[in-house]
A and B are shown apart, each in its own frame.
Chain A
Amino acid sequence: MTQMHVDLTAVAYLVAAVLFILSLRGLSSPETSRQGNIFGIIGMVIAVVTTIMNPEIVSYDWIIGAIVIGGAIGFVIARKIAMTQMPQLVAAFHSLVGLAAVLVAASAFLHPTSFGIADAMGHIHTASKIEMSLGIAIGAITFSGSVIAFAKLNGNMSGAPIMLPARHIINILLGAGIVGGIAMFVVDQDLEIAGVHIFWIVTALSFIIGFLLIIPIGGADMPVVVSMLNSYSGWAAAGIGFTLANTALIVTGALVGSSGAILSYIMCKGMNRSFISVILGGFGGDGGLAVAGAA
């Protein structure tokens, strides 16, 4: 890659990132909302085309095939879905972003050289190990959490909160397992426990905690949860963005991450619910609110 190509690529990603900012800004008010959607589309086209122009991308068949199939499915769903089913559709879409983040992080782990994040010996750089494991963990939580949110909103699962006994202890242990596993992976890239690579153990624990964090939250609070999961998908994207040293991904991830968190806070205020108590339904340190409610 020539210097000029590298610079042009960086500028194009920056333009895409700015368009995404304008898109979110546009969606905040009715007059500019449609324009905002169009800015988002243009930003996405620029990001995708810029990436495909990268000289390291040489094989297009699968790329085009996957875009055509996925795009057609997405488009048909968007046209056919009833407006009343919008919240669960958004939840379902979040689960796909989470899963995509998991797959990208997994392929970076399996094939670090094509992402340019390993030395000649195949050792992944320390920073990249931290970023990719955070990316896969948050992506996995987004996926499994969104699946539950979808099932609750769509009526495949009762909207009533499911309270496991000792759920806080289980969650704390799982969380500690994830953090500890990431630390072990960063120290020793090839660590295996009982024949399973530590990276996959972290992934599995993250999928499980995603389920457990959302099942205790009641159906009425689900829209807030969907917005929180949106925020998570942003953080996952940012993690992968650091791994790839890609400005568009980092900016977009941060943007989606923080705006999603703020939006869920605003939604809670709108519903006259305390943000903390909604989140505590799942995360709570002591579950005092839930217990008080039951008693």
Chain B
Amino acid sequence: MHDIIVNPFIQQFSVFLLAIFVGYYVVWSVTPALHTPLMSVTNAISSVIIVGALIAAGPEAMSISKILGAIAIGLAAVNIFGGFAVTARMLSMYKKKK
């Protein structure tokens, strides 16, 4: 029994499934005024795809893959900086209104 380990895919899939439930429950109570900021922060967070782009752009050797990776890093960076900055801006306006 000790020599047999669970297929890593099953473990990843477990994490995936549980995270779906977390996402499901976490946003139910959101106030309507926060819909757009929530959307923009979610968008910024989904730019964590940059992790894959970094791996693609990381090797020393030049390749198409490295170029694609670098472009993907740039696109994700627009999102990360833009997304969090614009969310902060929206939230500061929201506070003033109150």
Is B one of A's binding partners?
Answer: yes
Q: Which residues of A contact B60 (CB under 8 A)?
A: 58-59
Q: How many chain A residues have a CB neighbour from B under 8 Å? A: 102
Q: Which residues of B contact A160 (CB under 8 A)?
A: none
A90-B36, A100-B50, A270-B32 known; A56-B45 Cβ under 8 A: no
A17, A29, A68, A258 — which one has the most chain B CB atoms within 10 A of its CB? A258
B56:A100 contact, CB within 8 angstroms: no
Q: Which residues of B contact A34 (CB under 8 A)?
A: 88, 91-92, 95
A24-B38, A259-B23 known; A106-B82 Cβ under 8 A: no
B65:A114 contact, CB within 8 angstroms: yes
A74:B82 contact, CB within 8 angstroms: yes
- A256, chain B: closest CB distance, angstroms: 5
Query: Contact size class for B?
Result: 35 or more
Task: Answer whether residue A200 sits at the interface, using C-beta atoms and an 8 A cutoff.
Answer: no
Q: Mark B51-84 against chain A: 1 for CB-CB distance below 8 A, else 0.
A: 1111111111001111011111111111111111
A44-B44, A263-B38 known; A71-B30 Cβ under 8 A: no
A28-B34, A57-B55, A100-B53 known; A259-B75 Cβ under 8 A: no
Q: Which residue of B lies closest to A263 (CB)?
A: B27
> CA A96 – CA B51 in complex, angstroms?
15
A75:B82 contact, CB within 8 angstroms: yes
A237:B48 contact, CB within 8 angstroms: yes
B48:A86 contact, CB within 8 angstroms: no
A56-B59, A71-B77 known; A256-B22 Cβ under 8 A: no
B75:A21 contact, CB within 8 angstroms: no
Binds B, one of A169-177, A208-216, A244-252: A244-252
- B81, chain A: closest CB distance, angstroms: 4
Q: Which residues of A contact B41 (CB under 8 A)?
A: 23-24, 27, 36-37, 40
- B17, chain A: closest CB distance, angstroms: 8
> CA A66 – CA B72 in complex, angstroms?
8
List 11 contacting pairs A-B, 8 Å CB cutoff, sorted by A.
Answer: A54-B54, A57-B54, A63-B70, A63-B73, A74-B80, A75-B85, A96-B78, A107-B72, A111-B56, A115-B52, A258-B23
